[in-house]
Amino acid sequence: MNKICAFFATLTLAAYAEPLPVIEVEGQPLSANARRIVQALDFLGVPLAENVRAKLNAAIAKRDAAGVQAALDAQVLCVVDISPESRVKAQRGPAAARVQQGGYTPVLIKVINHATSVAHLQFSSPQAGPSYAGVAKGTMERERQTHLRENENTQGADRFLEVSLYEAPPMTANLSGLEVEYAIALLYSSEAGKRETTLVFDIGQGTQDLGFRAEVPVLFDVRPAVTVKLDVKDFDGTPTTARLTFTDAQGHVFPPQARRLAPDFFFQKHLYRASGGSVLLPPGEFTMEASRGPEYHTVKTKVSIPLAKEMTLPVKLERWMNAADLGYYSGDHHIHAAGCAHYTSPSEGMRPEHMFQQVKGEGLNVGCVLAWGYCFDYQRQFFGPQVDRFSEPLTQMKYDMEVSGFGSAALGHVCLLNLRELVYPGADGIKGWPTWTLPALRWTKQQGGYTGYPHSGSGMQVNASVAAKRLLDLYDAGKDARLTAVEAQAALLPESYEKIDADHDGGLNEAELVNSHERVLDTLPNVAIPDAGGHEIFVTTAHGVCDFISAMDTARLLEWNTWYHLMNCGFPLKAAGETDFPCMSGTRVGQGRTYVKLGKIDSIDFTKWCEGLAKGSSYVSDGYAHALDFTVAGQSSGDEVRLAQPGRVEVKVKTAFGSETPLEIAYGGASPVAGARLTGDTVNYHDATTAQPYAGGKRKIELVVNGLPVAVREVLADDQVHELVFNVDIPRSSWVAVRQFPQMHTNPVNVIVADQPIRASRRSAQWCLACIEQLWRVREKNIAPAERDAARRAYEEAKEIYRRIASEAEQGT
């Protein structure tokens, strides 16, 4: 008997002297049920006491139904009685009400089933349920954690209990229909001491007996958990902060997510602790997983927690990559401390000390915590022109702003970084901001800030049927439900006219246009026009006030497609990696990150890191993929090469991929197809949910020129650095980058030939122009009437810029 069992063996002590009723029933099925009870309790690590087990086994061998009940009834915490009319009542059983703080205690439930129902027995308590309120339904659906959301936004002030029926094999989810059987309930308490709870049973809505007879008040004696102090050492032996996950043999996560309060987040299975911190755990055996972000291995250790008041647990971290050794420092520019999945009060959220341990615990060098509409009034107190006071030399955290949930967000959200002032001139907090994004970005640039659009795949989706109908509505002058060659000249088609005209009848019908869109939607780049027109990035980039487009937290095809087209027009737009934590993802910060090259330094300058992000001396990745020291003709990302005439350039890069890349929610949602075409106009990709993107432990590295792959190499995902060399001909001014879809992309090196600007694709300029027009059609109404004329002028100026760029690009590109 292990440490936990020694305590729970006392469950056999009677709480009530009166024996439970013995129900007449056939012995074989009840014996089978009892045998499964024994197996389940053994699996849960809390076997029956030897004397009880011997008595029960003897009854099972004889198929003695009365003997089975006599052996088990003393262990029963509650008796559930289901009437012939399926009304449920419950009462207290004879077992002592003792549970372990911080651990799942199995208890027996005796079910007397006069209705011989095969329904699902349900078990609840008003003292159970999440200890938080206000989580957004859409956020939990996006993060696939709807089980963590309550139907009511109520604060769980008196919620310290977790209750559930154990339904995994060998137990079953539904009742068997036998007149009597036994079930196992699991009880968890986050508090110690004497705690009264009410346990409630039913078999469906409306089945509870009248007069609260399905409710059983129970006074529990909750034994205190063990205070486990953590001695966390980094790879070099220095104290640090780690990401830790504790699970038992049944897969239970400790502490349970629904019981988490600050500094822990209920929507994360793991927790973060600095060296010297502690966690409450029950006595027993656990698996501890320790890491500190994607540059670290996940170290799994079996740990034994003794029956004691406290203990110290050593945690030693292991790195496989340290990008800082080569002068690269990672950051996530889009983190939230309130709203979306944050709890207690979504309009307030978490304090800086809690957010800092998330940033440091993921090995980020920079974390930008952004106030936004639903938390602004509370979170604004933490804003300052400098980094937060909890920052450390190599872990910087600054509070800034996302325009979201108010004002300019109607035309797209924007991240505003390195702000000196948080509130737009003339505004009252978040009230009174412009209703389009260009003025907010201009104001940010005036104060030395940096600007970019977050979750950039949002709003860029294309429905093939909707897009086909839109082309007919706009360009079918003859109103004959088809586009002639003359009519199509004014339209930007997803493919050539000849390819779309599958039946060769000299016209494009709706079905042909739908099929064409469906063919190109999984290609990169493509010119299918987004239904919502995207966001104002096409306008603000043309006006020179947008520094970056965010990547790594929405569909990669949509993110990179937009970025490619804008770079093909010659704009110096850079990519920056983000998480939008915990709105797009609550798993952890830094799932998307920017690695900025600053050189070997002892302390990070936040402003210089932002400058590097805006300049593009960086790459974006999920942290498990790296592209270090990327150069073209000796020039690094964000720089340019000048050639007097077309010529060949040498491209170098050091790549490294983690051997244990986790596949979680597919943010980005696509992976390379084996044997994808590397010639022609496009490379096809498809949904990662049906692919095996990391089969064989290899990664496909593509050299990209003007959005098209021109060479490919394969490297092993083996925690090692692999140096690659490419040679590529540059016939005209172009941008050159390296990517591994969907994990990593370098920012480009521009190669300028004969002093000519980059005009890589006429269709790219036409696509940006078409996106502006569609955005105006769909969202003009969101701009306040008093601002609409100024917005219209700015839009027209941007459209004229794209028309000029299109005219300067080569015919047919």
SS3 for 597? strand
At residue 544 the predicted structure's pLDDT band, cuts being 50, 70 and 90, is very high
SS3 for 653? strand
For residue range 586-639, list pLDDT tens digits in order: 889 999 999 999 999 999 999 999 999 999 999 999 999 999 999 999 999 999
What is residue 670's predicted lDDT score, i.e. its pLDDT?
Answer: 44
Say if residues 237 and 246 touch (Cβ distance below 8 Å): no
Tokens 């989810």 belong to residue: 173
Q: Degrees (nearest 5) of the Cα angle 81, 86, 87? A: 65
Query: Residue type for 205, please?
Result: Q
For residue range 494-524, list pLDDT tens digits in order: 999 999 999 999 999 999 999 999 999 999 9
Q: Degrees (nearest 5) of the Cα angle 703, 704, 707? A: 165
What is residue 604's predicted lDDT score, i.e. its pLDDT?
Answer: 98
Q: Degrees (nearest 5) of the Cα angle 387, 393, 397? A: 30
CA distance 168 to 44: 11
225 secondary structure, DSSP code: P
| Bridge pairing between strands 215-223 and 98-100 | parallel
What is residue 90's predicted lDDT score, i.e. its pLDDT?
Answer: 95
What is residue 667's predicted lDDT score, i.e. its pLDDT?
Answer: 55
Residue 511: CB atoms within 10 A of its CB come to 12
For residue range 44-96, list pLDDT tens digits in order: 878 899 999 999 999 999 999 999 999 999 999 999 999 999 999 999 999 99
Say if residues 764 and 525 touch (Cβ distance below 8 Å): yes
What is residue 136's predicted lDDT score, i.e. its pLDDT?
Answer: 56
What is residue 260's predicted lDDT score, i.e. its pLDDT?
Answer: 75
For residue range 452-464, list pLDDT tens digits in order: 999 999 999 999 9
Minimal CA–CA distance to 82: which of 166, 201, 211, 218? 201
At residue 8 the predicted structure's pLDDT band, cuts being 50, 70 and 90, is very low
What is residue 696's predicted lDDT score, i.e. its pLDDT?
Answer: 46
Say if residues 568 and 764 touch (Cβ distance below 8 Å): yes
What is residue 135's predicted lDDT score, i.e. its pLDDT?
Answer: 57
The torsion of the CA quartet 551, 344, 102, 140, rounded to 10 degrees, works out to -40
pTM of the model: 0.84
Higher model confidence: residue 679 or residue 458? 458
Residue 789: CB atoms within 10 A of its CB come to 10
CA distance 97 to 434: 61
What is residue 235's predicted lDDT score, i.e. its pLDDT?
Answer: 97
Say if residues 610 and 417 touch (Cβ distance below 8 Å): yes
215 secondary structure, DSSP code: E
Tokens found for residue 730: 């540059």
CA distance 680 to 709: 9
For residue range 568-584, list pLDDT tens digits in order: 999 999 999 999 999 88
Higher model confidence: residue 136 or residue 172? 172
At residue 143 the predicted structure's pLDDT band, cuts being 50, 70 and 90, is low
pLDDT average, residue stretch 664-676: 42
Element (H, E) at 699: strand 698-705
Residues 6+ apart with CB under 8 A from 212: none
CA distance 589 to 331: 9
At residue 339 the predicted structure's pLDDT band, cuts being 50, 70 and 90, is confident
For residue range 282-321, list pLDDT tens digits in order: 999 999 999 999 999 999 999 999 999 999 999 999 999 9
For residue range 787-797, list pLDDT tens digits in order: 999 999 999 99
